[in-house]
Amino acid sequence: MSKGLFITFEGVDGCGKTTQIKLLKEYFEKQGKTVLLTREPGAKGLGVKLREILLNYDGEVSPNCESFLFLADRAQHIDTIIKPAVERGEIVLCDRHTDSTVAYQGYGRGVDLDRINMLNDIATSGMKPDLTFIFDIDIETSMSRVGKEKDRMESAGVEFFKRVREGYLNIAKQEPQRVKLLNGSDKIEDIHSKILDIINKY
Ligand code: TYD
């Protein structure tokens, strides 16, 4: 069976990844490839219900509980959507995945990183993205792009997002083969062509 490609997109809120995912989808589709665009949390079905809790629940949520909810969504997503699509030979473009839990729950909320890595491994049954793009922007830009209407995660505060950004920069340093760091403040067309260069080399 021909294997597809699994690419993930990461960064702090407002980093511009959604625009880039759409451009890349169009690029692949012009080449006649089948592309599945998906996201975490909440691609479909049960995941949409988990997303609703994760982004809008207004009571207390402990960091461990938050981690498990993101991980539960991921397990369902990998098993029912991502893995079958990659096995069909499709290109899966996923808006956020395992690195979000490392950056947000690990670096941001302070959950033990080894534990997060182990749980990510269980949730994905060891399936890893072929390539990951992290879009780096400063936190002032992130906050201004998010605007005033914030969801539960976006309301976590500037210090939290500084830790999340640090987390992403560390992930990029630790796994240069899989993870490619891009400047999210560059022009949209320039970022897109850098992504194409990386993918074509891959
Ligand atoms: P979303 O509206 O999809 O944000 P964005 O457009 O920035 O991707 O909201 C997802 C939020 O959930 C975002 O603030 C990041 C957060 N998140 C985690 O904290 N941990 C995770 O494992 C994932 C997948 C997302």
**Distance from the CA of 59 to the center of ligand 1, in angstroms?**
18
Nearest CA to ligand 1 atom 17: 100
**Distance from the CA of 96 to the center of ligand 1, in angstroms?**
7
| Confidence band for 2, pLDDT divided at 50, 70 and 90 | low
Does the pLDDT at position 147 exceed 90?
Answer: no
Which ligand 1 atom sits nearest the alpha carbon of residue 12? Answer: 7
The pLDDT assigned to 174 comes to: 98
| Residue 7: closest CA among 186, 183, 127, 169 | 127
State which of 8, 10, 13, 117 you would mutate to test the pocket of ligand 1, scoring each by most atoms of that ligand within 8 A of its C-beta: 13
The pLDDT assigned to 31 comes to: 96
Q: What is the pLDDT of residues 155-173, one digit of tens each?
A: 999 999 999 999 999 999 9
Does the pLDDT at position 50 exceed 70?
Answer: yes
Q: What is the pLDDT of residues 79-130, one digit of tens each?
A: 999 999 999 999 999 999 999 999 999 999 999 999 999 999 999 999 999 9
| Confidence band for 1, pLDDT divided at 50, 70 and 90 | very low
DSSP E strand stretches across 34-192: 35-39, 91-95, 131-136, 179-183
| Residue 25: closest CA among 100, 91, 77, 107 | 91
